[in-house]
Amino acid sequence: MTRHDGRSPGELRKIEIQPGIAPHAQGSVLVSFGNTRVICAAMIEESVPRWMKEQNVTGGWLTAEYSMLPYSTTSRKPRDSSRGRPDGRGTEIQRLIGRSLRAVVDLEKLGSRTLWVDCDVLQADGGTRTASITGASVAIELACRSLVTAGKLSVLPVKNRVAAVSVGIVGGEVLLDLDYIEDKDAEVDMNVVMTDKGDFVEIQGSGEETVFNQGQLDTMLAAAKTGIANLLNFQNSALSTL
Ligand code: UDP
């Protein structure tokens, strides 16, 4: 089967990871999964949240924020600041990004500092959370490298890289890295987050008005695993040129 954009079922969209997009951030990239484009920036603050001091928690912290820029969608999406309340979907996504990144950062080694990660969607076409995680992994590594370069840390506090991809069932077929057209018709929608050691960080999967069986789950996970291995190669190329 050929997909509406000419891809085969297990093929990623065109992936690009462009570092240095936001020069004031210690680490940043513009990540593209096809027409989904996200700016991921990591900034270091030389302090930790108050709750950590109060609870005598040692080491550092990492926190992530996610938002879709108003012009990232075909009809303008109002900013949370104008709506006066946060958007539930965005809150869920930023927690996922934070968990995924904390799984690969050694917070003890980071020391008493906070890594702020901002993922802002420039263009949304499905898979904004998976592109955010994949790009942010590169952004935090760049930010952490700057700490080593500045002599503030002797070792990189990054244990692993992490990448994520969506996979779903559309028209009975398992498809990798769904774009919006595919996503809106998907019978099953799943987001898979894995490290470069091949371990899972998180799997979010749900049947949308349908169910899925063990065999389909296995096929989806296998497709996601192959996709993530490819995404890790793109991260590696982006980081090895610097
Ligand atoms: N989307 C949108 N406006 C919204 C939320 C979603 O246009 O307020 C579109 C957008 O293209 C997004 C897609 O729907 O990428 C799928 O959204 P989902 O919540 O599944 O998250 P994502 O796949 O982006 O991680």
Please indicate whether residue 125, judged by its CB atom, sits closer than 6 Å to ligand 1.
yes
Q: Give the model's confidence band at 86: pLDDT under 50 very low, under 70 low, under 90 confident, else very high.
A: confident
- Residue whose CA is closest, atom 24 of ligand 1? 128
Q: pLDDT for 129-170, tens place per residue?
A: 999 999 999 999 999 999 999 999 999 999 999 999 999 999
| 219, part of any domain | yes
Q: Give the model's confidence band at 8: pLDDT under 50 very low, under 70 low, under 90 confident, else very high.
A: very high
Q: Give the model's confidence band at 70: pLDDT under 50 very low, under 70 low, under 90 confident, else very high.
A: very high
| 2, part of any domain | no
The residue range of the domain holding 87 is: 15-240
| 221, part of any domain | yes
Q: Which of 36, 87, 180 to mutate to test the pocket of ligand 1 (most atoms within 8 A of CB)?
A: 180
Q: CA angle, 61 as apex, 104 and 28 as ends, to 5°?
A: 65
Q: pLDDT for 102-130, tens place per residue?
A: 999 999 999 999 999 999 999 999 999 99
- Residue whose CA is closest, atom 20 of ligand 1? 126
Q: Give the model's confidence band at 231: pLDDT under 50 very low, under 70 low, under 90 confident, else very high.
A: very high
Please count the structural domains in the chain: 1
Does the pLDDT of residue 85 top 80, yes or no?
Answer: yes
Q: Give the model's confidence band at 49: pLDDT under 50 very low, under 70 low, under 90 confident, else very high.
A: confident
Please indicate whether residue 76, judged by its CB atom, sits closer than 6 Å to ligand 1.
no
| 231, part of any domain | yes
Average pLDDT score over residue span 25-38:
98
The predicted structure's pLDDT at residue 3: 96
The predicted structure's pLDDT at residue 7: 98
Please indicate whether residue 65, judged by its CB atom, sits closer than 6 Å to ligand 1.
no
Average pLDDT score over residue span 62-78:
97
Q: pLDDT for 186-228, tens place per residue?
A: 999 999 999 999 999 999 999 988 999 999 999 999 999 999 9
- Residue whose CA is closest, atom 7 of ligand 1? 73
Does the pLDDT of residue 1 top 80, yes or no?
Answer: no
Does the pLDDT of residue 2 top 90, yes or no?
Answer: no
Q: Is the pTM of this model over 0.95?
A: yes
| 6, part of any domain | no
Q: pLDDT for 71-83, tens place per residue?
A: 999 999 999 989 9
| 5, part of any domain | no
| 1, part of any domain | no
The predicted structure's pLDDT at residue 164: 99
| CATH number where 219 lies | 3.30.230.70
| 142, part of any domain | yes
